[in-house]
Amino acid sequence: MTPLLAKLIIPWARPDFWGKEHQYVVEALESTWISGGPFVDQLEQSFSALSGGERALAVSNGTTAIHLAYLALDIKPGDEIVVPGFGFLAAANVALHMAARPVFCEVDPETWCMRAEDIAPVLTARTKAIVVVHTYGNVCDMDPILALASERSIPVIEDAAEAFPSRYQGQLAGTLGTIGTFSFQATKTVTTGEGGMVITRDNDLCERMMLYRSHGLRRKKHYWHEVPGLNCRLTNLQAALGCAQMEKLDRIIAERHRVYEAYAKRLAGMTGVTLQIFRADVQPVVWAIAVRLDPEVFPQGRDNVLSQMLDLGIETRPGFYSPSHIDYFNCQPLVTCDALAASVVSLPSYPTLNEQEIEHICLQLKKLGHV
């Protein structure tokens, strides 16, 4: 055991397998269908059903889901892709792999998500896609973003890796734009260890993603490559986990709501701490409960708070670092994103966290403030 794991008492995330996970994984093994197989089809069908009939493709992770979306949209070298400057940077990294240019925009200081007014100033004639990232389970205000994108005929990819199954005006995040992407990495609301899903209602885009997902091969025609494809497939073993998790999705959502409410009632009035804001038309399933720290109350700085919390046996995480601090992006300062990057802390957030643990975490955080 590493020293970090040895002293850890409350981890930041913890996957739980209280449903039929063991049974389904054993079934997959015993069936000998360990690569493709019926659990993959079933997982795709459950996403399709939940998303109101979108076509759903299971993939190896949330990053390859974005990669397939770019390939389907025919992103070319030099094309610009708008991404938020605060959020997980997978969409920006994949853009670089296609010799495209990630163009960073600001985000709203309250919701921590990008808005139409943040996107408009960075659009150019070279903009080929907008990737909205629904950070921490929040959902971007999609109506104005979609209106702006449609005026300019720019496709919108929704990176809903952290926002499954959050809703915007009742509609599932990931179904509002042209293509929606999801991650099933171990900390995510539904997990398959590593894995992901990409959804779209556009049949042509779906066919292209299906081709690129599996070496550019058509299922019925062996070894004939139609496009220079990749291997982005999810295995039947992984999908077995996913199917078991999808069966208990209502309970996962209920437990995540309980955890969020337990935190919110303690953090809402705490001096020096500001919770992420969710708009009234968003029904979030919060993936990571996060707060902004006021430097006057936490003069030791956010990074010191992370280490102090760890010393107390509580693993917390920083907000996402700003691309303006990451050399290879060559990005100018972004006032709001840079401020969030320096002040956000995300707290342990998983469905089995109990009331006493949440009380303990909030109390320890409060004690670190200099009020």
Asked if residues 298 and 369 have their Cβ atoms less than 8 Å apart, the reply is: yes
Minimum Å distance from CB 167 to ligand PLP? 17
Nearer to ligand PLP, 37 or 196 (CB): 196
* Residue number, nearest CB to ligand PLP: 62
Residues 107-146 that bind ligand PLP (CB under 6 A): 133
By the 8 A CB rule, do 318 and 338 touch? no
83 or 123: CB nearest ligand PLP:
83
- By CB under 6 A, the count of residues binding ligand PLP is 13
Give residues 187-216 in contact with ligand PLP (rule: CB under 6 A).
196
Residue 341 interacts with ligand PLP (CB under 6 A)?
Answer: no
Length of the chain in terms of residues written: 371
Task: Give which of 358, 349, 259, 239 is closest to 14, Cα–Cα.
Answer: 349
> H or E segment at 225?
strand 221-225
CB of 89 to ligand PLP, least distance (A): 8
Q: Which amino acid appears at position 234 of this protein? A: L
Out of 161, 206, 243, 262, which residue is the one contacting ligand PLP (CB under 6 A)?
161
Q: Of 47-55, 157-165, 293-301, 326-334, which part binds ligand PLP (CB under 6 A)?
A: 157-165
CB atoms within 10 A of CB 281: 14
- Window 69-98: residues binding ligand PLP (CB under 6 A): 87-88, 90
Q: Is the Cβ of residue 68 or residue 148 nearer to ligand PLP in the bound state?
A: 68
Please report, for residues 21, 140, 352, the alpha-carbon distance to residue 10 in angstroms, rounded to integers and kept in the order given: 24, 30, 11
The rounded distance, in Å, linking the Cα atoms of 236 and 34 is 5
Task: Name which of residues 43 to 72 contact ligand PLP (CB under 6 A).
Answer: 61-63
Residue 322 touches ligand PLP, criterion: CB under 6 A:
no
28 vs 234 by CB, closer to ligand PLP: 234
Amino acid letter for position 61: N
Give whichever of 40 and 365 is closer to ligand PLP, judged by the CB atom.
40
Stretch that binds ligand PLP, among 49-57, 156-164, 291-299, 304-312 (CB under 6 A): 156-164
What is the Cα–Cα distance from 115 to 194, expressed in whole angstroms? 30
Cβ within 8 Å of residue 77, ≥6 positions away: 98, 99, 100
Q: How far apart are CA 224 and CA 215, in angstroms?
A: 9
Is position 183 an interface residue for ligand PLP (rule: CB under 6 A)?
Answer: yes
Contact between residue 72 and residue 179 where contact means Cβ atoms under 8 Å apart: yes
Is residue 293 close enough to count as binding ligand PLP by CB under 6 A?
no
The span from the CA of 310 to the CA of 312, in Å, is 5
Q: How near is the Cβ of 323 to ligand PLP at its closest, in Å?
A: 14
Rounded to whole angstroms, how far apart are CA atoms 329 and 345? 23
As a whole number of angstroms, the distance between CA 296 and CA 308 comes to 17
Which of 196/369 has CB closer to ligand PLP? 196
- Whether cis (ω within 30° of 0) applies to the bond prior to 165 is yes
In whole angstroms, the minimum distance from the beta carbon of 196 to ligand PLP comes to 5
Asked if 297 and 271 count as a contact pair (C-beta separation under 8 A), the reply is: yes
> CB of residue 143 vs ligand PLP: minimum separation in angstroms?
21
- Write out the residues near ligand PLP by the rule CB under 6 A: 61-63, 87-88, 90, 133, 159, 161-162, 183, 185, 196
